[in-house]
Amino acid sequence: MTETLENIIKTKEKELLSLFKVMEEIKLSFISKTILFTAEWYEKASKKYVTKYSDITLSLSIDELEDLKKKVKTLKKEASTFVEKALSAKNIWWHENPDLRASISQYDLLGNKQVGSKYPEGVDKAVRFALGELGVILEEFGYNIATSVSFKPYQEFWFYTEQDQKAHFRPYFPHSLDWSDEMQETMVKYSEAFKKAISTLGEIQAIKEEVKRRRIMDLWDEADS
């Protein structure tokens, strides 16, 4: 009987490895779609802010406006660097560090058009880190944005405080955000694969515990003879 359980474990482990492979492919697809989204977002958001703070824009010289546009264009080209770095951080993708204690709803997309969307916290935070890089440029040109602690009035705080040995700040987009449809569809696929994978891992662990229990009982019986 224990032999049969060992074979079941091997089969389940193969299934889990296949799911991990699928999840890695979905992750890479999500990163690719987020790069496209981020590059477009940099352009749209920069136009929004030069309009939103029209007095500041009108106070800039032509040379300064040209410099601003150049820096935004460069940022767009570098979108892949910021997105890949942000979405490669630890503990974002479950398949890279499987843990049975993870919440089954960890990658669910919640909310609706009326109340707003709520995305998986770890992934959404990483996306916002990448978007926050635009804030560094807008701050440089005086657009009432702070990407670190500031005591100036009427600032938008575009930073996230991380506690390590000491507090440090990362550029971070703090406002309402809608992912692209492609990003959302890809995350739904990851969530589905995650639920299958964590269930399979749970089955493997349960069978291993049963194998261990039976071995202990066999040893116990042998000791009695």
Q: Where are the domains of the chain?
A: 2-223
Pick from 196, 193, 200: which is nearest to 22 by CA? Answer: 193
What is the DSSP secondary structure assignment for residue 50, as one 8-state letter? Answer: H
pLDDT at 66 over 80: yes
What is the DSSP secondary structure assignment for residue 181, as one 8-state letter? Answer: H
What is the DSSP secondary structure assignment for residue 111, as one 8-state letter? Answer: E
d(CA 133, CA 172): 7
d(CA 30, CA 222): 55
- With tokens 């891992």, the residue in question is 201
pLDDT tens figures, 156-187: 999 998 876 566 889 999 999 999 999 999 99
pLDDT tens figures, 9-50: 999 999 999 999 999 999 999 999 999 999 999 999 999 999
pTM for this entry: 0.90
Report pLDDT for 2.
65
Helix, strand, or coil (residue 81): helix
Pick from 197, 155, 216: which is nearest to 18 by CA? Answer: 197
pLDDT at 70 over 80: yes
- HSE on the CB side for 203, CA within 13 Å? 17
pLDDT at 115 over 60: no
Q: Is the distance from CB of 44 to CB of 36 less than 8 angstroms?
A: no
117 Cβ neighbours under 8 A, 6+ residues apart? 109, 110, 111, 178, 179, 184
